[in-house]
Amino acid sequence: MKKFIIFTLLFSLAIVGFSVEKGKIEVPLRFDRYYSYDEVNEALKVLNKAFPELTKLEVLGQSEEGRDIYALTINNPKTGDELSKPGVYVDGNIHGNEIQAGEVCLYYANMLLTKYGENEKVTKAVDKNSHYIIPVVNVDGRFHFFEDGNTPSSNRSIRVAKDDDGDGLFDEDAPDDLDGDGSICQMRIKDPFGRYKIDSEDKRILVPVKPGEKGEYSMLGYEGIDNDNDGRINEDAEGYLDPNRNWGFNWMPPYVQRGAGNFPLSGVGLKAIDDYISDRPNIIIGYAFHNTGGMWLRVPAEKSTGIAASDIAAYDVIGKEAEKITPGYVYKPAYDLYPTYGDFDSHLFFIHGIYSFVGELFMRSQETYTVKKEGPKEDELESFMRGTRTERSREQLKFNDNVAQGELYKDWKKFEHPVYGEIEIGGWVKMSSRLPHPFMLPDLVHRNASVVFLSALQTPEISIDVFEVKEIGKNLQQVRVRLQNAKGLPSMSAYSVSSKLYPQDMLTVSGGKVVAGGKISDKRLNKVNYKEKKPEIQFLSVPSYGVVEYQFLIEGKGEITFNYESQKAKNINTSVKL
Ligand SMILES: [Ca+2]
Ligand SMILES: [Ca+2]
Ligand SMILES: [Ca+2]
Ligand SMILES: [Ca+2]
Ligand SMILES: [Zn+2]
C-alpha cells in the first residue's frame, strides 16, 4: 500500500514536472524552445487539426529504425488542386544534430497558417502556392540527439551501421556519457608534461604552453571508455552514412566522398523522400536547412559542373535578398565551401529541375558579450572552436555565464575514469555551439522562414494575352500571343530545358487551322522562327521577369484558344474570336 502511494506520488510529480518544463503544444506554436522528434510530430498534428481545410498531414515513409517521416502540405483547395500550383519545398534536420532546422520548418508552417486571412502577403502565398514541409528528414537522428548523450556535432548519420575501424565489429565504441548529464563533453587530466595550462583569467580555459614552459594538463578527447577493449577509445560511433552525400546526382563512392554509402539513395528514408518529390513535379524551389555558419548555398556543389548564367541570375533574385533578411549570412555557390558529391541540393536541381538552397543556420559570432557593436567574423571562429583563441573563449564563457545563465557550458568536475584514473569532465554541452540558446531562436526561425516566404512570392506568375490580330490574306489571320512572367523565377530552369529533364512548357492553339507558328525574335522586323512541324504546339519556357511572344497564321473564323501548360507554373489560357 505504502509502496503504491509513493509510486503514485512519484508518477504525478513526473507528469507535473514534464508539463511545467515543456508546456502543452498548441496553436500558435511556441518558438522559444526545441521540439523533440515526438514533439515535432505532435506540433504537426496540432497544426493539421487546427487548419484541416488548408493542410494535409501524411507519413511519407519510415527510417532505418522504423520511425515515421512526416510531411505537411499547405494548400488552399479553393484556389486549385495542389499539383496545379508552383510548389515550395522546405525540409530540415537531414543531419541528426542540426535540430533548429526543424524549428524553421515548423515556424514556416505556423506562420502561413496562423496569418492566413490576416496578413495580405501570407494569404497570397497560401493561395498561390503549394507548400511541402518536412521538418525532420533524419528522424532517427533527431530522436537520438535528444535521447542520447551527444556533442553538438555528433549523431549526424543515418542509422546504417559501419565498421569505421575495420575490426569486424559495427558501431561498437561510441563516446559514452560518463557523468550521465545528457551531453558528451571533454575529458582532461592533470599532467606536468601536458601541452596545456590554465588560462590566467578564466580557469575553465586551457591555453597551450609556450616552448620551455611547464604544462599542467593534457586533453583526452570526448567523454568515453574503451567499450570493446581494443585499446582505443570512441573509435567507432554510429554510422557513418552521411544523408547529404547519398543522393543521385554526382554520387561518388566512399573512397572519393566520405559517408556516401554503398549506392545512391541506399538510405530508406531518403529514398522515400525522393519518391515524394518525384510525385510532385510542380515543386519549383526547395530549401534544405542545416547548421551552422550563416550561409545560403546554391548549386553547383562541385565547380566543374557549371550552370547557365540565367540560372545563376534566378538564384541571385533570392540569394541577394536572403543575405539582407538574415544579416551576416553569406550567399554563395556550395563548391566555394568545399566540393561535395551526392548532396541533396544538387539532386533537386540536376535531377528534378528545382532551384535549391542550403540554409546554414546560426552564426556563433552572434553570441557576444562586449561593448563593441560588431562581433568577430565567422571565419575567426574555427580556431576558437579548437580552444586556441583565448580572448574569444573568455567572451563566449561570459556570454554563457551572464546571458545564457550558464546553460551552454558544463564546469569541469572530477571523475574516476576506468582507464585514466582521476580526470576532469567539462566543456560546451550538447545544446550549445551549433544551436542558438532558445532565447535567440524566435529571431532565427522568423528571418530564415522569411527567405522561404520571399521565394514563394517569387515563383512564376505567368499571364497570357493576344496582343495583335491582323488579316493578312483571304481567310488568313496573323495572331500574336504574349506570355509574361511578373516574377523572378523562370517557369523552367535553363538546365531543365537543355538537359530535357521533363517535358517543356507548351503553348497550344485550338479552334482553328494553324498554318504556321513560331517564336517572334523581332516583332518590328517581323522575324519569326517558324516551327517546321505541328505549329499549333510550341515548346517554351518563360524567363525571369521576362516575355516571350509567338506568332500564328491561322485559317478560318471562330473562337481560337491559346493554352499555356507548365509542370511548375500555373496553367492558363486565353481566347480570341476571329
Ligand atoms: Ca568497429
Ligand atoms: Ca556527459
Ligand atoms: Ca574501443
Ligand atoms: Ca573497435
Ligand atoms: Zn548539415
| pLDDT tens for the 578 residues of the chain, in order | 444 444 444 444 444 334 344 679 999 999 999 999 999 999 999 999 999 999 999 999 999 999 999 999 999 999 999 999 999 999 999 999 999 999 999 999 999 999 999 999 999 999 999 999 999 999 999 999 999 999 999 999 999 999 999 999 999 999 999 999 999 999 999 999 999 999 999 999 999 999 999 999 999 999 999 999 999 999 999 999 999 999 999 999 999 999 999 999 999 999 999 999 999 999 999 999 999 999 999 999 999 999 999 999 999 999 999 999 999 999 999 999 999 999 999 999 999 999 999 999 999 999 999 886 666 666 655 554 554 578 899 999 999 999 999 999 999 999 999 999 999 999 999 999 999 999 999 999 999 999 999 999 999 999 999 999 999 999 999 999 999 999 999 999 999 999 999 999 999 999 999 999 999 999 999 999 999 999 999 999 999 999 999 999 999 899 999 999 999 999 999 999 99
Taking the centre of ligand 1 as the mean of its atom positions, its distance from the CA of residue 174, in whole angstroms, is 10
Q: How far apart are CA 540 and CA 491, in angstroms?
A: 9
- Among all bound ligands, the one having the nearest atom to the CA of 229 is 3
Residue 570 and residue 237: Cα distance in Å, rounded? 48
List Cα–Cα distances, 53 to 73, 74, 79, 306, 377, in angstroms: 11, 9, 12, 43, 46
Q: Enumerate the domain spans of the chain.
A: 2-145+241-362+438-457, 162-237+365-428, 462-577
CA distance 576 to 578: 6
Contact 442, 33 (CB under 8 A): no
Which residue type does 267 have? G
Distance CA 363, CA 2 (A): 53
Please name which ligand lies nearest the alpha carbon of 358. 5
For residues 460 and 475, the answer to whether their CB atoms sit within 8 Å is no
| Size (the chain), residues | 578
Indicate the pTM of the whole model. 0.94
Confirm if 321 and 131 have CB atoms less than 8 A apart: no
- Cα(154) to ligand 5 centroid in Å equals 11
Grid coordinates standing for 163? Answer: 565498421
Instruction: State the distance from the centre of ligand 3 to the C-alpha of 274, rounded, in angstroms.
Output: 37
Instruction: Say if residue 221 is exposed, middle or buried (CB neighbours under 10 Å; 0-12, 13-18, 19+).
Output: exposed
CATH architecture label of 462-577 = Sandwich (2.60)
Who contacts 272 (Cβ-Cβ below 8 Å, separation ≥6)?
A: 60, 61, 62, 69
What is 494-552 written as a DSSP string?
Answer: HHHHHTT-SPPEEEEEESSEEEEEEEEEETTTTEEEE-SS-TTEEEE---TT-EEEEEE
Query: Under a CB-based contact definition with an 8 Å cutoff, are residues 81 and 124 in contact?
Result: no
> Minimum-distance ligand to the CA of 240?
1
Rounded distance from Cα 151 to ligand 2 centre (Å): 9
Domain range 2-145+241-362+438-457, its CATH number among 2.60.120.330, 3.40.50.10880, 3.40.630.10, 3.30.390.30: 3.40.630.10
Cα of 176 vs centre of ligand 3, distance in Å, is 11
What is the distance in A from the centroid of ligand 3 to the CA of 221? 14
* DSSP secondary structure code for residue 179 in this structure: T
Q: How many CB atoms lie within 10 A of CB 102?
A: 28
Q: Give the DSSP per-residue string, 410-426.
A: EEEEEEEETTTEEEEEE
Q: Give the Å distance between the CA of 180 and the centre of ligand 2.
A: 5
Secondary structure element (H or E) that encloses residue 329, with its range: none
Centroid of ligand 1 to alpha carbon of 294 (angstroms): 35
At residue 391, φ and ψ (nearest 5 deg) are: -60, -45
Ligand 3 geometric centre to CA of 436 (Å): 33
Ligand 3 mean position to 150 CA, how many Å? 18
